[in-house]
Amino acid sequence: MAEPFCWLLPRGATPVRLAFTARARHGALVMTATVTPLHRQGAPSLEPMMALVAADMNQVNAVILDRMQSDVPLIPELAGHLIAGGGKRMRPMLTLACARLLEYGGARHHKLAASVEFIHTATLLHDDVVDGSGLRRGKRTANVIWGNPASVLVGDFLFSRAFELMVEDGSLRVLRILSNASAVIAEGEVNQLTAQRRIDTPEERYLDIIGAKTAALFAAACRIAAVVAEREEAVEMALDSYGRNLGIAFQLVDDAIDYLSDGATMGKDTGDDFRDGKVTLPVILAYARGSAEDQAFWKDAILGHRVSDEDLAHATRLLRETGALDDTLARARHYGQRAIDALAGIGAGQTRAALVEAVEFAVARAY
């Protein structure tokens, strides 16, 4: 029988995966090991960052598992469905990686990273209710399985747990950063709701929306690392800028791949944004550049009158022909570069390289 049962993450060395295999041979147990670099040359990856923070992430996962428990069985059941649903946990990893970048040696960041993940998970539960989504990360959404009221209430429970963890940390500055981010996220979601099916949404307003609903938590997740590491405000704001620009780049790429990818790759249905009447940046650019006939199509589509597979295919053609997809991805690269530039002069070595590669990964997902 051959089965890998352990993997090792050397600290301060090139991360590798060490898989042991046990085989019976001539009445004796023979062990062999296969060593594989976690990061392959080629496409950018999150694996370097995942490897560097693996030990800390185990602590964060323990906090998450403990704090999602409740005497009401539905709460851990529903929360666990989403938390265990295959997400990369990028936001809490950013908290851990930024703390490591600043050579923080304590343990406060474990609970705070868990708080960040609870905020994110709560917003996902609420978003799926608002959007009527049926699929997330390739699995049925909680609102489809348990209904909208349960999803909203468990989301509220997770928000409460997040704030408990902030209070336990004891830092008013951390509490201010994360609570402000929570309020900004809610404002962004409401702003997006009021912009839904409005084809005349300006590009500036759309960037404000994603800066709030997506980038605010990325920024806060990175910034709080500087607080726990007791670094100066300039470092705080540099990490805030890194996270904020990464978050915007991440969302812009998501907007593009809604038309470029497939359900198996994305973990949600292709064209969900199109069918939901979401006016994302590719649509804003294509509408502005289109002929009168094209603009009439977009108006009908965003109002929900053109939702067939053929309509989606036509929309994708228009996005390509007008250069809207290419320009959306160019903007994502621009914000990605701003994120990388924000790290100038902060830290060095593997951790900084992993944070840079996380940006490159976020942008490269579309290619």
- Which pLDDT tens digit goes with each residue over 207-244? 999 999 999 999 999 999 999 999 999 999 999 999 99
pLDDT at 141: 85
pLDDT at 125: 92
Q: What is the pLDDT of residues 311-349, one digit of tens each?
A: 999 999 999 999 999 999 999 999 999 999 999 989 889
Report d(CA 23, CA 103) in Å as an integer. Answer: 42
Report d(CA 12, CA 15) in Å as an integer. Answer: 8
Q: What is the pLDDT of residues 120-147, one digit of tens each?
A: 999 999 988 887 777 776 678 888 889 9
- What pTM was estimated for this model as a whole? 0.85
Report d(CA 70, CA 87) in Å as an integer. Answer: 22
Question: Could you give the angle at the alpha carbon of 359 between the alpha carbons of 354 and 365, nearest 5°?
Answer: 115
Q: Is 336 exposed, middle or buried (0-12, 13-18, 19+ CB in 10 A)?
A: buried
